[in-house]
Amino acid sequence: MPTIHWFRRDLRLADNQALHMAAHEGDGQVIPLFVVDPILVQSARVGANRLAWLAQRLQTLHAELHALGSGLHVAYGDPETIIQKLCQQYAVTSVHWQRDTAPWAQRRDTAVGLMLRNINVRSVMHDTLTIVPAQQVLTDKGTPYTVFTPYYRRWRTQLNLGDALPVPTLAPVPTQLATGQFPSWSASAIPIPDTSRQQALNLLNHFASNRINDYAEQRNYPAVSGSAQLSAYLRFGVLSAQECARVALAHLTHEPKSGAEVWLSQLAWRDFYQQILFHFPHVAQGAFRPIYDNIAWPNDERLFAAWCTGQTGYPIVDAAMRQLVQTGWMHNRARMIVASFLTKDLLVDWRWGERFFMQHLVDGDTAANNGGWQWAAGTGTDAQPYFRIFNPMSQGEKFDSDGAYVRHYCPELANVPHKYIHAPWTMPPLLMHEVGCVVGHDYPAPIVDHSVQRGHALQLYKDAVATDPPHDA
């Protein structure tokens, strides 16, 4: 009797518990299903880049299934209707999938689960999105953690990784179901890389054997490939987070802050924000601390447009925003810098930036993106607005001292001397002409004054906290 494995963001065959169980129960007779839900595809939070990446991955996943004598069934429409029809048509006994943390995903999954119960089909959700399940890391009082460091300590004690699950044995899918029909979404502006499982493994192995030991230092420099570059593969589950954690553990050294340890803690940050979204779904709409919903953001559309297009006049910010738009990815250090700049310098609501990131990032994930933005905006689990106003000049000097990153994405600054690369408006006029970069002509003059805006930001936050009562006035 066949079963269904409902692929969502676990687009791999190896180390996939839900697929493994579906294959086990169905004696190999698994219908590998992906549902293209028009509501999700048309959402304002999903951009062409991520869809293009997904479309590519569906094809490579199909090829990987095909090599096993199976194939991917891609269906278009409402998941509940599609799964019900398939169950009835093929006498399916159970449906397996990986649990998601996003509030709308949970509502959808609950509805599908109820439908299945009504037609006497078993549904099984697997907690494999995170390395340690969201419900499993709790304080002594049984409440979820909201501070990372104690969370991480407990998380480490719960870390219990068995061996990776093998690729299951699969029987052929009825031919009319595995037709190789893939979505043809409008082409994205960015180049889509090799999305195969093999490529993901190559990247992971390369990182583990060449760069993981230097990760703690190198990860901070946007011009250097110090990070693993795996975020999109993790986002779509081409690799499991557990597989990454196994690699990190295998490379731990006795140093307290080894590259592998720092990378493991980054994986734990991913888990941390997933469980924040799971336990506190209101963060998807507003501030983790509701008092900060009182901030009276000026939200100047003109400033926001300059930020989106990389025309703020602050080189490190502009380089980062152009990297996002041109490649669908942005270095983590740069994400913090532009998020701080949008909220603390341009005084624009962090949700505007959060949405723009979701529209462009191939690795865009609600939990991580929201957590990062709220951290930068000072509205999140670690609200310290007074300590967290990045200075775009000193960040540039610290983390892109020779300006390699800036010069790459802002070619009009290519010949600006190092001394001025993060503040080109301070060049003497004669020098501007000499290097072919007249500020205000070849490159924008700064659209705001950082030290002035810093003062405004502090006042905005102070006013918000002083507002009483909070939120529901």
Partner DNA sequence: TTTTGAGTTGTTCGA
Partner DNA sequence: GTCGAACAACTCAAA
Summarize as ranges the residues that interact with DNA (CB under 7 A): 139-141, 143, 145-151, 153-154, 220, 265-266, 269, 332-333, 336, 372, 375, 382, 384, 386-391, 394-395, 398, 450-451, 454, 458
- CA–CA gap between residue 400 and residue 408 (Å, rounded): 11
Q: Return d(Cα 331, Cα 222) in angstroms, integer.
A: 6
- For residue 393, the minimal CB distance to DNA (Å) is 8
CB 23 within 8 A of CB 158: no
> How does DSSP assign 272-341, residue by residue?
HHHHHHHH-GGGGTS-SSGGGGG------HHHHHHHHTT-SS-HHHHHHHHHHHHHS---HHHHHHHHHI
* CA quadruple 434, 435, 436, 437: dihedral sign: negative
Whichever of 11 and 336 has its CB closer to DNA, that residue is 336
Nearer to DNA by Cβ, of 189 and 452: the residue is 452
DSSP assignment of 185-220, as one string? PPPPSSPP---SHHHHHHHHHHIIIIIGGGHHHHTT
Provide the 10 A C-beta neighbour count for residue 104: 14
User: How far apart are CB 209 and DNA at their closest, in Å?
Assistant: 24
Structure tokens at 327: 């490649």
Residue 36 or 460: which CB sits closer to DNA? Answer: 460
Q: With contact defined as beta carbons under 8 Å apart, do 461 and 385 qualify?
A: yes
For 68, counting Cβ atoms within 10 Å of its Cβ (0-12 exposed, 13-18 middle, 19+ buried), the class is middle
Nearest distance from C-beta of residue 452 to DNA, angstroms = 11
Residue among 149 and 175 whose Cβ is closer to DNA: 149
User: Comparing C-alpha atoms, which of 362, 14, 334 is closest to residue 163?
Assistant: 14
Shortest Cβ 290–DNA spacing (Å): 11
Q: How many CA atoms lie within 13 A of 125 on its CB side?
A: 15
CA 348 distance to own-chain centroid: 21
Query: Residues of 3-25 as b/e, b for ≥16 C-beta within 10 angstroms?
Result: bbbbbbbbbbbbbbbbbbbbbeb
What amino acid occupies position 38? P
Q: Minimal distance in Å, beta carbon 36 to DNA? A: 32
User: Closest approach of Cβ 379 to DNA, in Å?
Assistant: 12
Beta carbon of residue 382, minimum distance to DNA (angstroms, whole number): 4
- Closer residue to DNA, CB minimum distance, 299 or 394: 394
CB of 375 to DNA, least distance (A): 5
Q: For residues 53 and 151, which CB has a smaller minimum distance to DNA in the complex? A: 151
- Distance of closest approach, residue 221 Cβ to DNA, in angstroms: 12
Of the pair 62, 450, the CB lying nearest DNA is at 450
C-beta of 322 vs 344, nearer to DNA: 344
Using the minimum distance from each CB to DNA, give the nearer residue, 38 or 150: 150
